[in-house]
Amino acid sequence: MRAASLILVVLPVLQGSPARDDGQWTMPGKNYAATRYSGLAQITPRNAPRLRPVWSFSTGTLGGHEGQPLVVGGTMYVVTPFPDVLYAFDLTHEGYPLKWKYRPDVNPTALGIACCDAINRGAVYADGKIIYNLLDGHTVAVDAISGREVWKTQIGDMSQGETTPMAPFVAGNRVIVGPSGGEFGIWGWVKGLDLATGKTLWTAHNMGPDSAMLARPGHGRYSGEANIGVSSWEGDSWRRGGAPVWGWISYDPQLDVIYFGTGNPGPYNTEQRPGENKWTNSVLARRPGDGSLVWAYQFTPHDSWDFDSNAEMILVDMVVGGRMRKVLVHFDKNGFAYTLDRVTGELLVAEPFANVTWAKGINKRTGLPIVDTTKTTGASRGNVKDICPSLEGGKSPASPSAYSPRTGLFYTAVNNLCMNFEAAPVTRIPGTPYIGATTPYFVGPGGYGGEFIAWDAARGRKVWRIKEKFPVWSGSVVTAGDVVFFGTLDGWFKAADAKTGRELWKFKVGSGVVGAPISFRGPDGKQYIAVYAGIGGDWFLLSGDVRSDDPADVRPPADFAPDLARHTSQGGIVWIFGL
């Protein structure tokens, strides 16, 4: 199917999105469809230059501030990085005073196990509770009014290298949760908890026997071969094969299906795990009630580059190729943007949105990448050079994209990084890194580290872009006022015209932005924008001299961002902006 022949028509109401915005932000992606679209329209391209800060609050923690606040009624809820403190702020009083603070009991051992900084990707509100994960493998539910702990459930096993920084998701009466730990060789899974009690009702692994995967080949739409989660691996390597679920989840209530991505296989040295390694680097569609597998699609079989597929799956109804389709749009770490039929898993569009050298394209008939074998890695291949994108991805999965039904466009952060990759054999010891690779980065073609783009998912093309000096690792929100917001690693929070990409406004927020902004209606009836500042995540691991209270943080700066510490240091702040 030729991209030029595709037509784009967008339904006026998104799947899972209300016809009128209630002004709240109760779940990570705003709605079930994970569009991060706000129906509020007071802020426009005309008045956005008059935005000003109206409130800020120091969270008291220095880790990477990923995720996003929640707004429920007249209360804003904020979750910090470790030690995962939950704040509730009263938006109905001047100065937004603190209503209560919940300090969970979190095992500090988790700090030594978490892969990529001690971050937290946020909470979800449901049934009068604020529900979120603690880094040490627990999910907690807190009464939204009183701050009292309602239930606490252990979901992860730190002894195996499992930590739990992802944002839970609620579909019906199920709380859906998953682990990090692909770099520790875990046996990846997703679980469904009872919303009322926290009891674990089902566990579905992402590879292994069909019984463990809750898969029934030939029943329903799942057409995988019997026990393909074993046969696509050598021996029992699937038992330590990774496939973590640390990203975002979406839900189609009409189909009663949740969608989520899985991460990299372990170890990075591909020669220790021959085969396609299903279902790592994939999107899985499951029933939230019992976890049964509906269909799966693998973006990067036998991953040779650490191209996790944990990024969001945005659900939109649109015409593609002359037919109205229920689609799923995904910007993968491998540099390709995919448009899939979310009913069947059929590939409709796949085009690069970032600089890509590891593959020449995606075969639309088979759905498989056309791999440039000179970029395939493995211990016997030595140092393989000039692989784009780097293992930080064409887009970081931690940087959720947004979609506007008004423009029909998707908005996403992009990294312009490449890498060299030298793999080595490695032995797994439970609870310790299981990687086996050295992967230095460098800035890609053009000399700029990243960009923020608008994307046409029906045609597979970039509509506009804003180049940035550093990689862009923030999420985004787009509004009915046709304004899109995002942040930068050097500490700017920006607004752009959603139609043209013209920069409208920016404000220095004090630390690099790696979280996702939200839009909400305050008790005064006005529209506000909120965002976290607080650099961290992988950039904290790679960029030295950004933590002044640590005498050991005298590392040389990363080669791809040698002067980042001139613009930002660690430090968590919640900002609210208004007109």
Give the residue numbers marked as catalytic: 183, 264, 306
Q: Which residues contact 308 (CB under 8 A, 6 or more apart)?
A: 182, 244, 247, 261, 262, 263, 264, 281, 333, 393, 397
A 10 A CB-CB count for 13 gives 11
* Measured distance CA(85)–CA(101) in Å, rounded: 7
Distances (CA, A) of 507 to 131, 214, 320, 503, 539: 31, 48, 39, 12, 21
For residue 242 the two structure tokens come to: 């990774």
* Measured distance CA(136)–CA(162) in Å, rounded: 8
* Measured distance CA(6)–CA(509) in Å, rounded: 41
For residue 70 the two structure tokens come to: 């929640």
**How would you list the strands of the sheet with 123-126, edge to edge?**
123-126, 129-134, 138-143, 149-154
DSSP for 108-122? GGGGGT-SS-S----
Contacts for 142-146: CB closer than 8 Å, 24+ residues apart: 142/86, 142/102, 144/72, 144/75, 144/77, 144/88, 146/100
- The candidate with the shortest Cα–Cα distance to 114, out of 536, 415, 524, 418, is 536
A 10 A CB-CB count for 132 gives 30
> Under the phi-then-psi rule, with left for phi > 0, alpha for psi from -120 to 50, and beta for the rest, what region is 494?
beta
For residue 333 the two structure tokens come to: 């770490």
- The candidate with the shortest Cα–Cα distance to 275, out of 245, 295, 305, 304, is 304
Q: Which residues contact 524 (CB under 8 A, 6 or more apart)?
A: none
Specify burial of residue 566 (Cβ count, 10 A radius: 0-12, 13-18, 19+). Answer: exposed
What is the bridge-based pairing of β-strands 402-404 and 37-38?
unpaired
* Measured distance CA(388)–CA(334) in Å, rounded: 8
